Structures are given as structure tokens and as C-alpha cells.
Amino acid sequence: MGDYTDQILVLIVLLDFFALGASRMRAVIRAAALQGFLLGVLPLILHEQLSLRVVLICVGTMVIKGLVMPAMLLRAIREVTIRREVDPLVGFTTSLFLGAVGTGLALLFSSSLPLLPVHAAAHLVPASFATVFTGFLVLTTRQKAVVQVVGYMILENGIFLFGLLLLEALPFLVELGVLLDLLVGVFVMGIILHRIQRTFSAIDTAHLSALRD
């Protein structure tokens, strides 16, 4: 089944671009969710024999990254009825252009790092770097707090993608801890988002600029 790996990776990188170009918050959240879900599919393909451990991780990833975290964010924006646009600080075209540059750099950078023969064929590493870069871009160039959290999720997706190279090396307990921490992280961010909404009647971080030197 190894043939499908690259197709899924291409899909993941395409979702990066989609997240950079989408103008509606819902669309960005859904892109990150689909990406998370695909991450859960990948280990099933990468592994010849399916141990209980791998299956558990896959299911955990799909549920937490694909369903629970996006659901929390979608709930957070449901209460805001007026503006559902992303409000980028950097325009969509520029974002896409930067994303393309980042993907190119990711390919370049990953080719300078030596890989094991087993991993050399798959494009896991450049896809991971490109996704991390996209996450950064979304985080820093979008004004809506919700979209910033999605950026954080995309960043985490990229890191998780790299982690797949190490599925044997990472003991189960740690993976669980990592997933749990992410979940709690987004949960706490969700609570703070709720507060931001109540305090400023908006989730725009332009209101969060009182503190400066």
C-alpha cells in the first residue's frame, strides 16, 4: 500500500496552500481538520504489520486532530455572527507566494539533511517542513485569534508528520502525552478565545495591543 503515501503527502501540502488562500474561517479550520485526519491515515499505510499500538495512535490522531480540536474551534466562532472572514495582515496572494517559496526552501533544506535509505524515497521530510512553515505563516499573518490557533494546529500537524519517521522510536506513552498536551493546549486557547470575545466583543487581536514598551 506504500504507493499511496506520496499522494496523501501531496494532498497535505495542497491543504497548506488552501489554508493560506482561504478567506473564510470555517474553510481554514476544515482544512486543518482534514489534514489532521490524513495524518491519522498515514501510519496505517506506512506500516506493513498493524500492531494494536499503531491502530490506537491512528484512531487517536483522527479523533483528536480531525474531530475534537476543529469542533472546539467551530463552536468558538459560532457565537460570532457578524464577520467570519480571516482578515489577513498580509494579502492572500502574497501569502500563497510566501507559501510557495517556503515549500521550495523546505525541499532544498531537507535535501541537505541525510536520510536513512528506508525514508529516502518518501517525501515525508519536505512535506513536514512545508507544513510547519505554513503554520508559522498563518500564525503570524492572520489577525483573528481563532485563525492563529488554526495556524498552531497546522504547525503541529507538520511536526507530527516528521514524527511518523520515528514511530518505532517513540514509546506509546509519550505519544499519548503529546496528543493530550495538544488537546489541552487548544482547549485552554479556546477558553481564552471565549474570554477575548466576551471582553472585546470580537476575536480580532487588533484589540490586544495595549501592552507595549
Partner 1 sequence: MNPLSLILLPVLWVAVALLIPSNRWRPLVLPLAAAMHLGNVLLQVSGDTQAIAGGWLVLDPLAKVVILSVALLFQFCALYAPGYLRVRHDRPNRIFCGGLLNMVAMLSLAAMAHHLGLMWVALEATTLASAPMIYFNQTPRALEATWKYLLICSVGIALALFGSFFLAYAALKGGHTPTLLFDDLVAKAHLLSVPWLHAAFVTLLVGYGTKMGLAPMHTWKPDAYGEAPGIVGAMLAGGVTSGAFVAILRFTTIMRAAGQQSFAGPILVAMGLLSMAFAAVFMVRQKDLKRMLAWSSVEHMGLLVLGAGIGGLALYGALLHLINNALTKGVLFLSSGNIHRAYGSKSTDQVTGALARVPWSAGLFLAGFIAITGSPPFGPFLSEFTIVRGVFTAESYVVAGLLLLLLLVVFMGMGKTVLTAVQGAPPPGSLIVHADSPWLVLPIVGLLGLVLLLGLYIPPPLAELLQKAAAYLEGTP
Residue number with CB closer to partner 1 (62 or 186): 186
β partners of residue 85: 24
Backbone φ, ψ for residue 45 (5° rounding): -80, -40
SS (H, E, C) 32-93: HHHHHHHHHHHHHHHCCCCCHHHHHHHHHHHHHHHHHHHHHHHHHHHCCCCCCECCECCCHH
Residue number with CB closer to partner 1 (4 or 194): 194
Asked if residues 145 and 193 have their Cβ atoms less than 8 Å apart, the reply is: yes
- 144-183 binders of partner 1 (CB under 8 A): 145, 148-149, 152, 155-156, 159, 162-163, 165-166, 168-171, 174, 177-178, 181
Q: Which of 8, 90, 105, 139 binds partner 1 (CB under 8 A)?
A: 139
Q: Which of 195, 202, 204, 206 binds partner 1 (CB under 8 A)?
A: 195
Tell me if 48 contacts partner 1 by CB under 8 A: no
Tell me if 49 contacts partner 1 by CB under 8 A: no
Candidates 122, 126, 127, 130; CA nearest to 113 is: 126
Buried b / exposed e over 175-187, threshold 16 CB at 10 Å, is: beeebeebbeebe
Site size toward partner 1, by CB under 8 A = 43
- 68-127 binders of partner 1 (CB under 8 A): 112-116
Residue number with CB closer to partner 1 (7 or 121): 121
Closest separation between CB of residue 131 and partner 1, Å? Answer: 11
Closest separation between CB of residue 150 and partner 1, Å? Answer: 12
Candidates 157, 155, 150, 181; CA nearest to 74 is: 150
Candidates 65, 61, 63, 74; CA nearest to 32 is: 65
- Residues forming contacts to partner 1 in the complex (CB under 8 A) are 112-116, 132, 136, 139, 145, 148-149, 152, 155-156, 159, 162-163, 165-166, 168-171, 174, 177-178, 181, 184-185, 188-189, 192, 195-196, 199-200, 205, 207-211, 213
